[in-house]
Amino acid sequence: MARMTPSEAFVETLAANGVTEIFGIMGSAFMDAMDIFAPAGIRLIPVVHEQGAAHMADGYSRVSGRHGVCIGQNGPGISNCVTAIAAAYWAHSPVVIVTPETGTMGQGLGGFQEANQLPMFEEFTKYQGHVNNPKRMAEFTARCFDRAMSEMGPTQLNIPRDYFYGDIDVEIPQPMRVDLGPGGDRSLDKAADLIAQARFPVLLSGGGVVMGDSIEDCVALAERLACPVANSYLHNDSFPASHPQWTGSLGYHGSKAAMKLMNRADVIIALGTRLGPFGTLPQYGIDYWPKDAKIIQIDADHRMLGLVKNISVGICGDAGASARALLARIRDRELACDANRDERTRTTAEEKAAWEQELNEWHHEKDDYSLEMIQEHEREPGNWLSPRRVLRELEKAMPEDVMVSTDIGNISAVANSYLRFERGRSFLAPMSFGNCGYSLPTMIGAKCAVPDRPAVAYAGDGAWAMSMVEIMTAVRHGIPVTAVVFHNRQWGAEKKNQVDFYGRRFVAGELNQAGSEDFSDIARAMGAEGVRIDQIDQVGTALSEAVDAQMNDGKTTVIEVMCTRELGDPFRRDALSKPVRHLAKYKDFV
């Protein structure tokens, strides 16, 4: 036991958990602790807006496998973080948000910046630690860090601001990490028996494979089965794209090859995935999820097993450990799928080749509305570019070992077809929370954690405007990133719904149709490099030069790409249908 202040106990516990960076905005609520961050080896990185801080903590944790930490002033500072913590929750990111609170003697009196902060985060945290006595500061702080890692999700540490002061006797807890096993023998044996009977197994590699650093284990299991491997939705980095058994991502704007091969499966091995509903919806008019396939679902959270899909076997275990245990059971066993191994390999290669050819030739969206937009832009000044052609050129120019984040939105969603990775912890997206303003701050956090990897953020112009001010954070604090802004002057994903379901009655979906807003100019005003391009042969060169400037000169660059207003498939075909109007004055809108 040592004598110290609660602030010192808090900071010492952060240090014990390896915290070296915290994202946030300074505030009087935690100033006593902030005063000793630097001597403890902790860098507070000031952001422009607290939502950006929590997104940065998310990106930091996702690419490093360590905690991401954010903090802010009580009340408005903390409430600004809610959206980003929700995104981290659905990404299973071990973020710790520290929420200093109104002092205990003022609570309930309606004082300055007072708020009840625990209910704000209740739905989006795995654990909430509320310091109810200064003597328990280190205990609750340590528990928040332990729970974030053991349950793979955000935790909240709530501290009344007067509890940073005083003198206490305390022992700083050491981090506690829990090893996850492969699952129970009974469920593993049953799964192995199902696999042995499969004639066309398909492996679905999910986020748990990435979070468990288990891609090699996934590859070994897949190679024994010679089966197609699909990435689960927005986990394009869960299996190496250069591997012949890789087929691409399922879900919204994913790979047709992966979907068609999944449709043939008689046994699906869902490794490290909760099988989220949005990631298995029909796409391109293909209702690809097989109706009669046996499903083996493996997830570290037993509550996810069988939650979305009816399954034949559920295994509660670590993705890597489970893959190794299954491989040990089938390695030397006679499998039904061995008999048609060559045929399955050939079918996989053919479907992949057909999809690549389609992407090569898919220069424009083919629906009537998009064709009209192409014709409209051909009559206008400028040479605005097809989003799909831009995405293909970006893919070709993407550097090795790149990290990419995508925002929510139409073009960012279409990018799902074009993003391929060779290692895990490379692809960051807002997952099923789907909030705008995600990609830039998240990538800044990722770059802070892994500065030797190229960092690229994709965003449409609508989402970009929500968080572009964090370019100042990147410039001010020497965290260089490259951002690609697809400028098509509209809220594209929602506008597509108005095209398909509401007779092209556009309400609130248009941004600046003339394209006069110059985001490259705004970037330069914030101290970054800014490039605006409207020629297809400029795309790859612009990305290569920006990444070179990022890695060699420490420069942040915003590449603004002037795009046509073509629109991909609708975003919410699962949630919308043609409207019915009952009142006479609405009859023309049926």
Write the DSSP string, 49-110: SHHHHHHHHHHHHHHHSS-EEEE--TTHHHHTTHHHHHHHHHTT--EEEEEEE--TTTTTTT
Q: Round to whole Å and give the CA distance between 394 and 541.
A: 9
- Tens digit of pLDDT at every position of the chain (590 positions): 899 999 999 999 999 999 999 999 999 999 999 999 999 999 999 999 999 999 999 999 999 999 999 999 999 999 999 999 999 999 999 999 999 999 999 999 999 999 999 999 999 999 999 999 999 999 999 999 999 999 999 999 999 999 999 999 999 999 999 999 999 999 999 999 999 999 999 999 999 999 999 999 999 999 999 999 999 999 999 999 999 999 999 999 999 999 999 999 999 999 999 999 888 888 898 999 999 999 999 999 999 999 999 999 999 999 999 999 999 999 999 999 999 999 999 999 999 999 999 999 999 998 888 888 888 766 655 678 999 999 999 999 999 999 999 999 999 999 999 999 999 999 999 998 999 999 999 999 999 999 999 999 999 999 999 999 999 999 999 999 999 999 999 999 889 888 988 888 889 998 887 767 999 999 999 999 999 999 999 999 999 999 999 999 999 999 999 999 999 887 677 778 888 888 888 876 65
For position 378, what pLDDT does the model report? Answer: 65
Closest CA to 88 of 124, 121, 46, 52: 124
For position 500, what pLDDT does the model report? Answer: 87
* Predicted TM-score (pTM) above 0.85: yes
Tell me the pLDDT tens digit for each residue of 34-80: 999 999 999 999 999 999 999 999 999 999 999 999 999 999 999 99
Give the single-character DSSP code of 576.
-
> Residue 426: CB partners within 8 Å, gap ≥ 6?
63, 237, 401, 402, 403, 404
Contact indicator for 53, 23 with CB cutoff of 8 Å: yes
Please give the torsion angle defined by the CA atoms of residues 204, 210, 216 and 217, in that order, rounded to the nearest 10 degrees: -60
Closest CA to 543 of 384, 399, 426, 406: 399
Contact indicator for 287, 310 with CB cutoff of 8 Å: no
For position 515, what pLDDT does the model report? Answer: 67
